A and B are shown apart, each in its own frame.
Chain A
């Protein structure tokens, strides 16, 4: 059996390792800096992820609007109102919630439970629960049903049009800031990594030139560069994943316990995805450098 491919791979790997070992201190410093940058990016990603999840929860509850029914509304009036609500653009679902269901939910709500327990009878009205695409749909809903006889005259809906607009704007701004932070962190990480790698490549140009002069194929000359960037990406990602785990297991629970209203929750479902994404992003940023570095003719 001919084993020269294996021997050749062994030679390449051995050469690549020696190539890297010679400048191990530079490699370690580069890996640490790259790891730090990736850690920042991964940490921001994690915070963005848990924040987005938290925001998504808030958005979902905010996008759930209740249109309260008058206690005296007839079944026909309720049916007509339901049809009218379902026809409003942006309303994706309309569910009926009876007085009994409303009372039962109130007993489980910390803010409404005292009222539910203290009241004789059932003070909670029946309602239609609307699932909207976003809170900005609320003003359209209120306009569409204004003056309907089935509506509760005192409190027709769970929030006003102005409140809906404010909430919508606030949630939009928060999502924009989170996205911008994410993009800036990734951009800075990529730029720093590229600058470090290019400096490393410049330092090795003499060696690359010698190999070129003696007729080593360019693809082969690039193999140690590829080996180096992949090892850098692995090392940097390992540091970033360690940072990610620390953030997830220590920092975010600490934030949750200090600021319970934030409810960032358990970040562990994001670890796998973020770790793979960090490694993939670092490889995608670094490998092109090794492939595109200009070699002397």
Chain B
């Protein structure tokens, strides 16, 4: 393990900093129990005094393609926020990718997120960085791509069909292309779970097909996909299982 000179200077600010590349690489090297799985048992979550999801139970196995559906305000985004550690569970048990969210301390949230891939409706790309930098820089800043080949960003862009757009700024790309860059960013560090919140909500049918193809590729390689959407066509075509927020409706594809 490499001695880290930054631990002393930054350790007081954020204890999470001490979880450096070697830890991440160690985690990747070993198969963590529950990797790629989601286990929610009687979980309640909400904002302030307003409960959104009450006593929800959900189990997702590794390699599933799950759609979360429900009307606006039903709690789809809230559920995803719970899954990527943005909202702490109020009660119950929640284990995502082998990490117990009930025990997850705020200072470890960033480390937990580095285990996941997240895609959002509004792409969430940094506008002043090129597509390749958008994929690579978060990995570098998160210290995940220091010791890995920088070609990983190019490989991820290639996987979503945007190898020729790696030098383009987000503003120069279409909505579908931007979303695919976001997917490349989400999968570049090879997570076991990909969370997507209305990833095609702003896209036309052609762009939607391109984006969903990228999800399918990730899924075919053994990844778990959890996607919130209100698009019934999309849901029926891609989902292996559908979860209506608040109640579970297993369904054969």
Interface residues of A (CB under 8 A from B): 2, 4-5, 7-8, 11-12, 15, 18-19, 22, 207, 209-222, 291, 296-297
Q: Give 9 nearest A-B pairs by CB, closest first.
A: A215-B113, A219-B14, A215-B114, A214-B138, A219-B10, A22-B128, A219-B17, A216-B141, A219-B13
The answer to the question of B126 belonging to the interface, with a C-beta cut-off of 8 Å to chain A, is yes
Residue of A nearest to B9 (CB): A219
Residues of chain A contacted by B126 (CB below 8 angstroms): 207, 210
The answer to the question of B250 belonging to the interface, with a C-beta cut-off of 8 Å to chain A, is no
Residue of A nearest to B137 (CB): A15
Say whether A11 contacts B141, CB under 8 Å: yes
Residues of chain B contacted by A5 (CB below 8 angstroms): 4-6
CB distance from A221 to the nearest CB of B (A): 8
Can you list 26 A-B contacts (CB < 8 A)?
A4-B2, A4-B146, A8-B6, A8-B146, A11-B137, A11-B141, A212-B110, A213-B113, A213-B118, A213-B120, A215-B113, A215-B142, A216-B110, A217-B14, A217-B16, A217-B17, A217-B143, A218-B13, A218-B16, A219-B16, A220-B141, A220-B142, A220-B143, A221-B141, A291-B13, A297-B106
- Give the contacting residue for A12; candidates B106, B111, B114, B141; CB below 8 A: B141
In the docked arrangement, what's the CA distance between A65 and B87, Å?
75
CB distance from B96 to the nearest CB of A (A): 13
In the docked arrangement, what's the CA distance between A9 and B129, Å?
18
Say whether A220 contacts B17, CB under 8 Å: yes
Residue of A nearest to B118 (CB): A213
Residues of chain A contacted by B107 (CB below 8 angstroms): 218
Say whether B141 contacts A297, CB under 8 Å: no
Residues of chain A contacted by B109 (CB below 8 angstroms): 297
In the docked arrangement, what's the CA distance between A264 and B116, Å?
67
CB distance from A230 to the nearest CB of B (A): 14
Say whether B2 contacts A211, CB under 8 Å: no
Find the residue from A5, A217, A219 having the highest chain B CB count within 10 A. A217
When each residue 1-42 of chain B gets 1 if its CB lies under 8 Å from chain A and 0 otherwise, what string results? 010111000100110110101000000000000000000000
Residues of chain A contacted by B118 (CB below 8 angstroms): 213-214
When each residue 76-110 of chain B gets 1 if its CB lies under 8 Å from chain A and 0 otherwise, what string results? 00000000111100000000000000000011011
Say whether B6 contacts A216, CB under 8 Å: no
CB distance from A220 to the nearest CB of B (A): 5
Say whether A8 contacts B140, CB under 8 Å: yes
CB distance from B152 to the nearest CB of A (A): 15
CB distance from A65 to the nearest CB of B (A): 56
Find the residue from B10, B84, B87, B118 having the highest chain A CB count within 10 A. B10
Residue of A nearest to B13 (CB): A219
Secondary structure of the A side of the interface? Answer: helix
In the docked arrangement, what's the CA distance between A22 and B111, Å?
28
Say whether B5 contacts A217, CB under 8 Å: no
Given contacts A5-B5, A5-B6, A18-B128, contact A211 B141 (CB under 8 A): yes
CB distance from B9 to the nearest CB of A (A): 9
Residue of A nearest to B21 (CB): A4
Residues of chain A contacted by B143 (CB below 8 angstroms): 8, 217, 220
Residues of chain B contacted by A2 (CB below 8 angstroms): 2
The answer to the question of B124 belonging to the interface, with a C-beta cut-off of 8 Å to chain A, is yes
Residues of chain A contacted by B84 (CB below 8 angstroms): 213
Residues of chain A contacted by B113 (CB below 8 angstroms): 213-215
In the docked arrangement, what's the CA distance between A2 and B3, Å?
10
Residues of chain B contacted by A222 (CB below 8 angstroms): 13-14
Residue of B nearest to A296 (CB): B86
Residues of chain A contacted by B14 (CB below 8 angstroms): 217-219, 222
In the docked arrangement, what's the CA distance between A182 and B138, Å?
45
Find the residue from A18, A213, A215 having the highest chain B CB count within 10 A. A215
Residues of chain B contacted by A216 (CB below 8 angstroms): 110, 138, 141-142
In the docked arrangement, what's the CA distance between A2 and B110, Å?
25
> Which residues 136-157 of B have a CB within 8 angstroms of A?
137-138, 140-143, 146-147
CB distance from A197 to the nearest CB of B (A): 18
Residue of B nearest to A4 (CB): B146
Say whether A4 contacts B147, CB under 8 Å: yes
The answer to the question of B185 belonging to the interface, with a C-beta cut-off of 8 Å to chain A, is yes
Residue of A nearest to B107 (CB): A218
Residues of chain B contacted by A219 (CB below 8 angstroms): 10, 13-14, 16-17
In the docked arrangement, what's the CA distance between A213 and B109, Å?
10
In the docked arrangement, what's the CA distance between A297 and B16, Å?
13
CB distance from B166 to the nearest CB of A (A): 17
In the docked arrangement, what's the CA distance between A11 and B109, Å?
23
- Give the contacting residue for A217; candidates B111, B129, B137, B147; CB below 8 A: B111
In the docked arrangement, what's the CA distance between A219 and B15, Å?
9
In the docked arrangement, what's the CA distance between A212 and B113, Å?
9
